[in-house]
Amino acid sequence: MNWIFKLSFVLQGFPIAKAIEEFNQLLTLSDEQKLAVQQKKAWSIFEHHKKNNSHYNNFIGDSSVSNWNDIPILKKSDIQVPLEQRLTSPFTKKEVFLNNTSGSSGTPFYFAKDKYCHAMAWASSIYRFGQHGVVFGKSKQARFYGIPACGKKYYKEKLKDFLSGRVRIPVFDLSEKKLFETQELFANTKFQNVNGYTSSLVLFAKHLIKQGVTAKQICPTLEVVFPTSEVCDDLDRATLEKGFGVKVVNEYGASELDLIAFEDVDGDWMVNNETLLVEIVDENGKEVPNGIEGKVVVTSLYNKAMPFVRYELGDMAIKSSRKKGAYTILEKVTGRTNDFVYLPSGKVAAGLTFYYISKALMDQGDDMKEFIIKQIKIDEFLFEYVSDQELSPEQKMNVQKALETYLEPGLTALFERKETIERTKAGKLKHFHSMLQVGTGTAQ
């Protein structure tokens, strides 16, 4: 981590040096000591929120809890109340790190972390990415992500990219022309690593394969690819390895929490036990045996500002029968897959583009509970949403404008308010559904 990157944390009031010191101390503990510390912190954070957060205390109920499995599992819908009610005393909005989830699960909401918790999450990232040679603020990164179209949020992301040594490659346009431009960018930039949405990376990898080259051949400094936000299955991984010509490291995380699991140098998907307690449970909240699929439930051990205690993400996962010391190893995670958007002009964009379009709704407040977007025609998109009230004409117009800004003019946004939205077998709400036959513009 270079000094400019470190200074950016200090200026924002995040105690990064203290967090890195504590994180490194955790790494020196024996397996027994580490598990004991994890359990102690889990109970401590539960008691903290139960005592100081009236909304969470009402959720728990009056009965005393002596067994961890008796703590009710928390879902996003349980804490989708005004932010002030979710904050744990004595924290206020001015004293915490505020952000919102991408909504890739279909349930967007704003969340808070106290500043030390946020610093610990960064200490976790610095360590885990560092295992693969990444130095934050120094290692040049090609970042296949979206970005706000304009305004303060756009410039904030650009500043973060500058401080982090990132070159952002927006995924709003993944047409053949843009893929060739990206190929040229790789040929002229000394990238050390790539990070981005799995589907976008796979599309670029397929483009390179079609051209008979690898990213490593045109960018010799490239060392590693980190797919994120969407599941990277074995087929995707093979495509990425072939197209980029370097190792692929799988990560799994949630913006409101931290990196949940991250592949080590041996390729094992190691579960984070420094800042989180991760459980894979059945319908009754009991831990499932190794090799059996269960729901991912996570406790944030350091977040004193908002109660993420036995918090259900909506993903399904399988634990390996193998362990590495105190570390659990994941075999598989299900969820977070997205389709591509095919448009009348021939333009192709990532399904997660709709995260930025949905900001037109999310920025209105907490009325929006859940939403999905369906492409029902080549130029028509149906927004199905669960909300306390109907969208106003102004809100609908904001979505229409965002649709044209991020994709292209001439598209139509339709809206349907629903009581509930059907989930997948994995319990996820797939954020974007394409109802078209791929590349044809006709409904399936």
**Domain final position from 201, 235, 252:** 252
pLDDT above 70: residue 290: yes
Higher pLDDT, 322 or 388: 322
Mean pLDDT in residue range 418-433? 65
What's the CATH number where 371 sits? 3.30.300
Give the pLDDT mean for 110-139.
Answer: 93
Q: What residues make up the domain containing 245? A: 3-252
Q: Which of 443, 161, 123, 55 has the alpha carbon at shortest distance from 301?
A: 123
Say whether both 230 and 345 belong to one domain.
no
CA separation (Å) from 292 to 183, 190, 269, 281, 319? 41, 43, 16, 9, 7
Give the DSSP per-residue string, 295-323. EEEEEESS--SS--SSEEEEEEEEEEEEE
Amino acid at 60: I
Lowest mean pLDDT among 142-156, 183-197, 213-227, 322-336: 142-156
The chain-wide mean pLDDT, for the chain, equals 86
Q: What is the pLDDT of residue 314?
A: 80
Q: What is the CA radius of gyration of the chain?
A: 22
How many domains does the chain divide into? 2
* pLDDT of residue 8 exceeding 70: yes
Q: What are phi and psi of 97, to 5 degrees?
A: -90, 120
Cis peptide before 148 (omega within 30 of 0): no
Q: Report the C-alpha gap between 249 and 232 in whole angstroms.
A: 10
Q: Is residue 280 part of a domain?
A: no
312-340: average pLDDT: 83
Q: What is the pLDDT of residue 328?
A: 94
- 352 compared with 22, residue with greater pLDDT: 22
Nearest residue to 26 via CA among 113, 127, 169: 127
CATH of the domain at 31: 3.40.50.12780
Last residue in a domain, options 237, 252, 267: 252
What does the block give as tokens for 146?
């979206």
Q: Which of 223-227, 337-341, 440-444 has the highest mean pLDDT?
A: 223-227
Specify the pLDDT at position 3. 66
Is there a contact between 421 and 370 (Cβ–Cβ < 8 Å)? yes
Highest mean pLDDT, choosing among 9-18, 167-176, 366-375 = 9-18
Task: Answer yes or no: are the C-beta atoms of 349 and 172 closer than 8 Å.
Answer: yes
pLDDT at position 350 over 80 = no
Whether residue 264 is contained in a domain is answered as no
pTM of the full structure: 0.80
